Structure 1
């Protein structure tokens, strides 16, 4: 069986440790042992500052990602889509439907047909 020893802590510190230990570990001994191992293996002191926390790093990364997304959307709107549209219009293989370019030609052609008939009628009369 394991032997236990008592350590004196202030009430506030003991309560904080108990809450932390219950939340993350099965026992207080396991919690204390894991914390001591963490500091020993990583060769750091609990008094050292490790720099920015995970939350601050995450927030700054999210800001950068949002900025990159905004830049890419702007590029897509101002550069990519117009360029793609121009290239597609250059490589379109569909031939436009043939339409008469000048509407007056039809009118002139119609008159020619009528004139031709009139001339035939005149020739037949002679």
Structure 2
């Protein structure tokens, strides 16, 4: 049974035998009931604004053209971001690191003190 349509009654449609055979075969290939297959087909045509009498060529070409324009716009935005944000920022960071590398002087200078040797105990006694 089809979900959500269990309580609905069946109606009959008059279609040619050859068309009915093709439709039944198609329903088996997509593993759906005949009602659900027909409903899916109708929803597809309605949602996509496609008429079975029209060729898909112009509609697909227009869609492809719109998609290509959006892709080109995204590429242009990314290139602009790279030029205005990424490269200057990377250059500034690189210059900071290059300037800090040569200045490797010690921050705290040690005072050089003159060492005074302490007198040993034995030497002090000799002096007196």
TM-score normalised by L of structure 2: 0.39
TM-score normalised by L of structure 1: 0.39
Which structure has the higher relative contact order (CA within 8 Å, separation 6+)? 2
